[in-house]
Chains A and B, each alone.
Chain A
Amino acid sequence: MSAVLDILASAGLWAAVLRIATPLILGTLGALLCERSGVLNLGIEGIMTFGAMIGWLSVYNGADLWTGFLIAALAGGLFGALHALLTVTLGLSQHVSGLGVTLFASSFSYYVFRLAVPVAGSPPTIVPFKPIAIPGLSDLPFIGPAFFVQTPPTYLAILLALLLAYVVFRTPLGLAIRMTGENPHAAEAQGINPMAVRYGAVIAGSALMGMAGAFLTLSAFNSFFPTMVQGRGWICIALVVFSSWRPGRALVGALLFAFFDGFQLRLQTTLGGAVPYQLFLMIPYILSIAALAVMARRARVPQALMQPYRRGER
């Protein structure tokens, strides 16, 4: 019991929570934006992988960290455009298209990575983002080191969550996106082009997914290796449901989730070999499934989610 309290009282845990949460926040926001417009984007896992690879590769080849981050976002947007082409223009099954994008984006990442970086004993590394202490706030006892000494993308992710919450609920654009996700025919009747809205939302959402991946290689770690995304994308899809498609709650959900994850990591070291480590690693996935089971019926799903829109076809 005291071991648990020790973990909770360490500023290190809370700092780690924000770090673990960052890719989840970005990925969840991205998936949420797509879904608000009516498009499920299961390309997320692959897009995150590609973002992680291309961000890292750019920096490895001399780009600065922010350029790497931006390139990852742009690449994510490109995959988003591919997904939009398949699901919006052609109106194909969003499930299967998304899986296709994931399979393609991940295998393409590995291909490009292998082509650019020949096999070596230990994977090459870059110098990642350094934590920045926010002047004043970081000097606060406990809270300072826990929450205000983070790498810049973490701060960016939190700002983006707030920004997206504002855009979705307080601007005409956000209303247009929500209307498109609820009833694209109604959006069209009000002079909004649902196809354009969906393209925009999927591309922008996928750019966020690309950034989520880049955080892994440019901030959380310093190298790229295949399968490093480890299902984080799928967890984000679950978090979108958990958050009832609300960006603010997505932020909270990602933090809550990261808390459990950070906690289990530390518990794992505390308990040592007494319990197989795999049991701890399962927790995030099982937690996601549990969150889905609890929320699936309560959440107000965008009514047109997964329904292709074709002009003149009802």
Chain B
Amino acid sequence: MTSPIPVLDIVGVSKRFGSNLANDDISLSLAKGEILALLGENGAGKTTLMSILFGHYVQDKGQVLIDGVALPPGKPRAAIRAGIGMVHQHFSLAANLTVLENVTTGTESLWSVASRRSEAREKLLAISRRFGLTVDPDARLGDLSVGEQQRVEILKALYNDARILVLDEPTAVLTQVEAETLFATLKDMAAQGLSLIFISHKLDEVMAAADRIVVLRGGRHVAERRAKDTSKAELAELMVGRTVTRPVREASTPGEIVLEAAAVSVRAQGVDVLKAVDFRLRAGEVLGIIGVSGNGQGALAQLLSGTLARTSGDLILFGTPVEDRLSVADVVASGIGRIPEDRNREGAIGEMAIWENAILERVADYSRRGLVDRKAGKAFASRIIDQFDVRGGTPTSRTRLLSGGNMQKLILGRNLINRPRILLAAQPARGLDEGAVAAVHERILEARRAGTAVLLISEDLDEVMALADRIQAIVGGRLSPPITAEEASAQKLGLMMAGEWQAEQTHAV
């Protein structure tokens, strides 16, 4: 099945960004009909390498050969013409254009007097039939689901006659079921002669879908294995390079209920984002809310953060019903710590100083008669920096200069340093490298030991299974009933994330 002639040969590629050597002399090859996984942590250099392959970046050294012919560096158009197609993690699509327009952009000479739309439509339909990727060519892209949008992204590459398809973290936004369908499609594509590279840091899917696995670490090619000759354990060690163990929660008895939601619904911009959700959160426990992003967890986090009002239902906070909407000030004052989903957008204001970001949400405590107490603010920031090991900045330096992990430590620190009664953590480890993930998890468990009630919203199964005492799945704005950590298995959670509990529920009623 796999032919011995390499369709793609990457030879000795290096790329430096400032002081950071993102790719250090990397070589790899890909055969026709092969599925190659590029495994590595965030920052291992996977995306940089693929961006060089695709001509987004120009390498400092090395070559990319397609069928033995060198590709001119820094020319996306040449890469496309050579048959390379890229499926980005953050889709490169335009919401206001139709599927057909998204797919055909740039495929015809810019100076031709008319678009050949009917031919394009036929070609698109033929490809989608061939690989079983159905979509309506005239639908507005913004109206499609995330899974459908990914299909469009793949179709776009195939439409350009791609023979080599690169998929960057393709399952990050998919449900378990959607992911399985995707891998079936990928195998079918390989069988039809396409060559595929997919980038991932998830061991399960790498083992399940790839023929061969290349492991990158710190910008270097550290190992190469056939999928059938290796194990998850070996890959994990190769990927991380050292044995980092994520902390796991120990048994404990939860305390009283601190936060209860009864049939809470939220309607935002004409859409029901939360539909009659129920949950109870107890002191000293971690309640995990698992779900694929875009299923209402954003709204849930905003609701409890005080930035979104509920439309109906009851919220009971520390035994007292919440009368009207929660404001951010109320939330912070009542001892709820908040870790936002998108730390760069919401968690900090990059151009402001670290101390200003530390106190902004609790500025009432650091001001007198409208004047900011700068001294106290800087002292507070210093304490966070010391106790939470924030590296790369002083209280007065700009927050933007911190790395993702350190910025997350700052955010954790400003919330945890005063022992909150509730911690709302939305995707707290997203995009962090393994070391930082372990640090964040340790802090969360430490808070739990101290009696803080933690609501953990996450799309990462491993994270939820390691930290949560009880787990509820969120699908389409609805919450499943909770299951205990002991009842939970990857398979069961996968089904819950696909909404499988709902059928049972209707039967029961």
Contacts and interface: CB of A to CB of B under 8 A. Distances in A.
Answer yes or no: A and B touching, Cβ < 8 Å: yes
Interface of A: 170-173, 175-176, 178-179, 182-183, 185-192, 300, 302-303, 311-312, 314
Interface in B72-130: 76-77, 80-81, 86, 88, 90-97, 101-102, 104-115
B280 interface: no
Given A182-B96, A188-B76, A303-B96, A312 B112 contact: no
20 contacts: A170-B114, A172-B107, A173-B110, A175-B97, A175-B101, A175-B105, A176-B106, A185-B92, A186-B92, A186-B94, A188-B56, A188-B76, A189-B54, A189-B56, A189-B86, A189-B88, A189-B92, A190-B76, A300-B96, A311-B56
Contacts of B101: 175, 178-179
B338 interface: no
Given A172-B115, A176-B106, A311-B56, A189 B97 contact: no
A172 B102 contact: no
A178 B97 contact: yes
A171 B94 CA distance: 17
Given A188-B56, A190-B156, A179 B105 contact: yes
Report whether over half of chain B's contact residues are helix, strand or loop; otherwise say mixed. loop
A152 to B, nearest CB: 25
Given A171-B113, A183-B92, 15 more contacts: A171-B115, A172-B106, A172-B108, A176-B110, A178-B94, A186-B102, A186-B105, A187-B105, A189-B76, A189-B92, A190-B156, A192-B105, A192-B110, A302-B96, A311-B56
Contacts of B110: 172-173, 176, 192
A185 B51 CA distance: 12
B183 interface: no
Contact of B93 (A170, A183, A188, A314): A183
B94 A172 contact: no
Contacts of B93: 183, 186
Interface string B322-360: 000000000000000000000000000000000000000
Nearest to A183: B94
A312 B77 CA distance: 16
Contact of B80 (A178, A183, A190): A190
Nearest to B117: A170
A54 to B, nearest CB: 30
A171 B120 CA distance: 13
A287 B111 CA distance: 39
A170 B112 CA distance: 10
Given A176-B110, A190-B105, A191-B77, A303 B115 contact: no
Interface of B: 51, 54, 56-57, 76-77, 80-81, 86, 88, 90-97, 101-102, 104-115, 156, 160
A179 B80 CA distance: 17
A72 B80 CA distance: 40
Nearest to B116: A172
Contacts of A185: 92
B88 to A, nearest CB: 7
A47 to B, nearest CB: 25
A187 B97 contact: no
B199 to A, nearest CB: 16
Interface centre among A182, A185, A187, A311 (most CB of B within 10 A): A182
A166 to B, nearest CB: 9
B88 A172 contact: no
Contacts of A172: 104, 106-112, 115
A175 to B, nearest CB: 5
B57 A312 contact: yes
Contacts of A191: 76-77, 80-81, 106
B75 to A, nearest CB: 8
Q: Which 6 A-B pairs have the closest CB atoms?
A: A190-B106, A182-B94, A191-B77, A186-B92, A172-B108, A189-B92
Contacts of B104: 172, 175
Contacts of A186: 91-94, 102, 105
Contacts of A173: 110-111
Q: Name the residue in A171, A186, A302 with the highest tally of chain B Cβ atoms < 10 Å from its Cβ.
A: A186
Contacts of B80: 190-191
Contact of B95 (A182, A192, A314): A182
A196 B28 CA distance: 34
A123 B54 CA distance: 61
Nearest to B57: A312
Contact of B90 (A178, A187, A312, A314): A314
